Amino acid sequence: MGDWKTITVPVLSSDSKNIFQHTSDKKISSPSMNSQVLRLPLPSSKSMHNFFSAFCTEENIEQSISYLNRELTTLGFPSIYAESKGKELNLISIINCMNELLVLQHKNLRAQEEVEMQHLKLGSDMDHLQNCYAKLKEQLESSKREIVGLQERDRQLQSKNRNLHQLLKNEKDEVQKLQNIISSRATQYNHDMKRKEREYNKLKERLHQLVMNKKDKKIAMEVLNYVGRADGKRGAWRTDKTEARNEEEMYKVLLSDYEQRQKQLLVENAELKKVLQQMKKEIISLLPPQKQKPKERSEDGPVLSDLEEDIGELNKENMWELSCETVREQLTNSIRKQWRMLKNHVEKLDNQVSRVHSGALNDKDVISREDHELETEKLELEIQQCKEMIKTQQQLLQQQLMSPCDDDTTLLLQDCYLLEERERLQEEWRLFQEQKKNFEKERRSFTEAAIRLGLERKAFEEDRGTWLKQQFLSMSTDYKHSENVTTPSAFLGSNLTVNVYLLGSEQDNRLVKSASQQRKPHRVSSPVSAEPWQTSPYITHNSSNAASKKPAADSKPNQWVGSDKEETE
Amino acid sequence: ASCVQYRLVVRDVRSLQVLQLYTCLDQIQHMEWSSDSLFILCAMYKRGIVQVWSLEQPDWHCKIDEGSAGLVASCWSPDGRHILNTTEFHLRITVWSLCTKSVSYIKYPKACQQGVAFTKDGRYMAVAERRDCKDFISIFVCSDWQLLRHFDTETQDLFGIEWAPNGCVLAAWDTCLEYKILLYSLDGRLLSTYRAYEWSLGIKSIAWSPSSQFLAVGSYDEKVRILNHVTWKKVTEFEHPATIANTKTIVYKEVEKSPSVETERLSFPPPRALASSLFSTQSKYDVSQVPVSLQYVKPAADRANPKMGIGMLAFSPDNCFLATRNDNIPNAVWIWDIQKLKLLVVLEQLCAIQSFQWDPRQPRLAVCTGSNKVYVWSPAGCVSVQVPGEGDFQIVSLSWHASGDSMVLLSKENFCVCYLEREEV
């Protein structure tokens, strides 16, 4: 046991020595103050070995063991003895105790380290704070010095100011004094001057007396002959009348001058009044109708109305020509009021404009602005839509105009167009066919009618011939003029033409109808064809002639044929 | 008419031909035409004699002898038939009548610059008087020399009186120690008093505008103040500073230009005409750019009657312009536009201005500076005309003819007549 102890203890001691060394090293490196506080009264490394050996020697092993046991038990460790009262040592407990002691030692070291760290930190904080404090102190001192300097300057300036004030006062006093001096001197001079003048006057008087007393013959005027007065009048004596007249004349002169001036002033006055009236009217016209703001209106309303009435009265009666005080005052007051109103109005407008520029909101402004903006947006949208539409349409047009690459589509398109045309043509063809049929019908009817007519004509001719013979025989003595050629033809023509006209009218109607269905060139021919029909009744008026019957009848089918021909063309 | 020593020479204006020649008893000091141009009076102050000559009848003569009373001034009355003689020491004014040979006396006339003033229409005469150290003004009717009004003035020492052209207002101003101008109406009532400032030297000269609308008062502080005839209050002030900065003012500066001489053409001896033109310098006007600084003369402060302030004032006959001269800047004539109440033109001459006078008919100003040139300004421009002739002709004063067609230029010993051509329109 003892051997064991000796073996283990040195190991322990070396470890602990190392540890102690470490800690001591640590302590040496730490700042002096801290180290002083914390430095345990540890002996040097050499002495530590002695110390350890000194504690436990071969003689007092048991004492040291018991001492250790006591210490450990007081610290709360289990006893290192195996059993109570036995001198046998419990190795396990000893090792446990040692282990726990080591652990404790480690903990303590760590705690020590931590404390030392904190200590260092606090130290550095302290330093920092001290520096700050030193700096602030410096700043405070410098600012204090500055304040002192500024105060000094202020004091100097104030004193300067006071000095200047004083100087100014002195100067003013001097000026006043000088003025007083001048005035006093002036009065003195005046007094002296007056005295001298009096002396002088006395001398003059004296001289005058002397001169008058001398009665110089020299003081005379030599004139060869009297000169007539400038205006040709004779000289007049000075009497009171003349005095009065002179006064009168003088006053007349003055009065005329004043009258002239007054006239000028009146004219000027009248002109100015006119100008004022015009200005007032213009101002009234400029001002906006005051129905918008009822508040202000209530104030100015009755006043305005009164003024307006008065002004109206004034204008009516032309009282502005008078220059009485009240009229003048009224006029000027009214103008002033109107001008003020106009000024207010202009100011309001200016404010509005400035507000609009600055962008501040006002109820009215916002509404108008919003409306304005909405409208502009709408318009813009519309414009955009229109533009888009135009674009699309243009595109479509371009597509249509330019031959697209697709053949099928072109063919289709062409086919469409062709179809349309074909349909149209077909319709026309149908119409044409119908008309043709109609014409055929008409032709047949006409030919039948012509045949009938021919037969009738023959009969008529025979009748006519017999009648004419009778007539001729009866009236051979009466008529000598040979109008036979014309009259029979005329007569014939008229009868025939009646029928013909009827037929012709029918045919005309048909022709016209057909013509309207067809195109224009056909139409032109129909009136042409109608005319010959119509002209013939006018020509053939009086009596019909068998001779003309034939040519008429011949001409008719010719005409018919012609008309048919024309139609077919 | 001109007088040479003791001879009176009357010439025709257009041809300068000698019409009459009269001989007086002594050297003539003062000569004056009567208002109807029929008589000429010649005053010889030393002898105290006034001689009157007639143009119509050269044989007619008249002599007025003041004797021991002495003679200081003599002038015609407006009707051309009375002569007013002021005796020595201003004892009295004697009114001699040529028609009636009667004599009237005006006592205690004032010995001032303009003591007697006649109205433009010649009806009334105002005389400044001084009795017992007080100033009075008497107004006489010229037709019969009756005293109309006699009133006192509130002046310290009346310096001058002048009627307005309309004959209804009389301006009276005080000595230069007091700035005070009083306006009296024809019947003697005080209409108004005007005082611009105290203590400094006051009024130097005044001028009425031809329409009687304005009264221009020139004072020693280099300013002209215009009063209006309605309220008699100041309408505006015209300043005469040494530097002109207003861009709307035209400044005409007289500039000498040396004539170009062709040395080849010179022949010896040089003809007289050429010689005179060689040595006489020509001058023309240049328009100077504003700002212009003029020559400012500061007078000696300790002498009396200093050469400062507005010494000459004249309105143009059409009432549009006012010409002034600031004695501090003796080389410049300032022309003001009365319609706009602004400075219009400044004429800067090379020498000091002796006198100027407006043409009685048109707004034309003739200026003479003591050199041999006469300067004429009109709103159209200005021109400098040299007096042709041998030797130097220093123009001292000038006077326009009443028609405005010609003017007389006077030098110390000679005079010449300058004819102005009228533009044929």
Are B91 and B133 found together in one domain? Answer: no
Select from B61, B132, B186 the Cβ nearest to the Cβ of A254: B186
Residue A226, classed as helix, strand or coil, is: coil
CB contact under 8 A, B144 and A226: no
Q: Tell whether B231 is covered by a domain.
A: yes
Detail the DSSP E strand segments found in A211-347.
Answer: 220-223
Are B416 and B276 found together in one domain? Answer: yes
Q: How confident is the model at residue A10 (pLDDT cuts 50, 70, 90)?
A: very low
Could you read off the pLDDT of A463-506 as tens digits, one per residue?
999 999 998 888 876 655 544 444 444 444 445 444 544 444 45
Are B283 and B420 found together in one domain? Answer: yes
Are B94 and B120 found together in one domain? Answer: no
Are B415 and B286 found together in one domain? Answer: yes
- Residue A164 predicted with pLDDT over 80: yes
Q: Tell whether B281 is covered by a domain.
A: yes
Query: Can you give the pLDDT at residue B89?
Result: 78
Nearest-Cα distance to chain B for A284, in Å, is 33
Query: Can you give the pLDDT at residue A455?
Result: 93
Are B416 and B296 found together in one domain? Answer: yes
Looking at B107, B124, B140, the residue that finishes a domain is B107
Best mean pLDDT range from A107-121, A520-534, B236-250, B364-378: A107-121
Q: For A192, which residue in chain B has the nearest alpha carbon?
A: B133
Query: Can you give the pLDDT at residue B409?
Result: 82
- Residue A143 predicted with pLDDT over 90: yes
Query: Can you give the pLDDT at residue A174?
Result: 95
Query: Can you give the pLDDT at residue A363?
Result: 54
- Residue A170 predicted with pLDDT over 90: yes
- Residue B85 predicted with pLDDT over 70: yes
Could you read off the pLDDT of B46-72 as tens digits, one per residue?
888 888 888 777 778 788 887 777 788
Q: Tell whether B244 is covered by a domain.
A: no
CB contact under 8 A, B80 and A230: yes
Q: For A181, which residue in chain B has the nearest alpha carbon?
A: B199
Are B395 and B305 found together in one domain? Answer: yes
Query: Can you give the pLDDT at residue A236?
Result: 59
**What's the average model confidence in pLDDT over A425-444?**
92
Mean pLDDT across chain A: 72
Q: Tell whether B364 is covered by a domain.
A: yes
Select from A186, A216, A222 the Cβ nearest to the Cβ of B67: A216
Q: Tell whether B265 is covered by a domain.
A: no
Could you read off the pLDDT of B178-202 as tens digits, one per residue?
888 999 988 888 888 998 888 778 8
Are B89 and B38 found together in one domain? Answer: yes
Q: How confident is the model at residue A537 (pLDDT cuts 50, 70, 90)?
A: very low
Query: Can you give the pLDDT at residue A243?
Result: 80
Residue A222, classed as helix, strand or coil, is: strand
Q: Tell whether B180 is covered by a domain.
A: yes
CB contact under 8 A, A208 and B91: yes
Could you read off the pLDDT of B150-187 as tens digits, one per residue?
888 888 888 889 999 888 899 999 888 888 899 998 88
- Residue B301 predicted with pLDDT over 50: yes
Q: For B132, which residue in chain A has the nearest alpha carbon?
A: A198
Are B200 and B302 found together in one domain? Answer: no
Best mean pLDDT range from A23-32, A343-352, B17-26: A343-352
Are B69 and B190 found together in one domain? Answer: no
CB pairs under 8 A between A and B: 113
Nearest-Cα distance to chain B for A279, in Å, is 25
Pair B72, B90: CB distance under 8 Å: yes
What percent of chain B lies above the pLDDT cut of 90? Answer: 4
Nearest-Cα distance to chain A for B35, in Å, is 10
- Residue A261 predicted with pLDDT over 80: yes
Contacts with B67 from chain A: Cβ below 8 Å: 211, 216, 218-219
- Residue B114 predicted with pLDDT over 50: yes
Looking at B54, B84, B107, the residue that finishes a domain is B107
CB contact under 8 A, A226 and B100: yes
Query: Can you give the pLDDT at residue A403?
Result: 57
In whole angstroms, give the CA distance from residue B182 to residue B193.
Answer: 5
Mean pLDDT is lowest, of A79-88, A327-336, A353-362, B134-143, for: A79-88
Are B301 and B399 found together in one domain? Answer: yes
Question: What is the model's pTM?
Answer: 0.57
Q: Tell whether B227 is covered by a domain.
A: yes
Query: Can you give the pLDDT at residue A288?
Result: 67
**What's the average model confidence in pLDDT over A278-292?**
71
Query: Can you give the pLDDT at residue A474?
Result: 86
Q: How confident is the model at residue A176 (pLDDT cuts 50, 70, 90)?
A: very high
Three-class SS of chain B:
CEEECCEEEEECCCCCCEEEEEECCCCCCEEEECCCCCEEEEEECCCCEEEEEECCCCCCEEEEECHHHCCCEEEECCCCCEEEEECHHHCEEEEEECCCCCEEEEECECCCCECEEECCCCCEEEEEEEECCEEEEEEEECCCCEEEEEEECCCCCEEEEEECCCCCEEEEEECCCCCCEEEEECCCCEEEEECCCCCCCCEEEEEECCCCCEEEEEECCCEEEEEECCCCCEEEEEECCCEECCCCCEEEEEEEECCCCCCCCCCCCCCHHHHHHHHCCEEEEEEECCCEECCCCCCCCCCCCCCCCEEEEEECCCCCEEEEEECCCCCEEEEEECCCCEEEEEEECCCCCCEEEECCCCCCEEEECCCCEEEEEECCEEEEEECCCCCCCCCCEEEECCCCCEEEEECCCCEEEEECCCCCC
CATH number where B53 lies: 2.130.10.10
CB contact under 8 A, B100 and A235: yes
Looking at B86, B107, B128, the residue that finishes a domain is B107
ipTM of the complex: 0.73
Q: For A194, which residue in chain B has the nearest alpha carbon?
A: B133
Are B413 and B335 found together in one domain? Answer: yes
Q: For B156, which residue in chain A has the nearest alpha carbon?
A: A190
**What's the average model confidence in pLDDT over B321-332?**
88
Contacts with A246 from chain B: Cβ below 8 Å: 141, 143-144, 146, 148
Q: Tell whether B264 is covered by a domain.
A: no
- Tally of structural domains, chain B: 3
Structural domain for B293, as ranges: 250-259+270-424
Mean pLDDT across chain B: 80
Label residues A360-390 b or e (16+ Cβ within 10 Å = b).
eeeeeeeeeeeeeeeeeeeeeeeeeeeeeee
- Residue B96 predicted with pLDDT over 60: yes
Nearest-Cα distance to chain A for B135, in Å, is 12
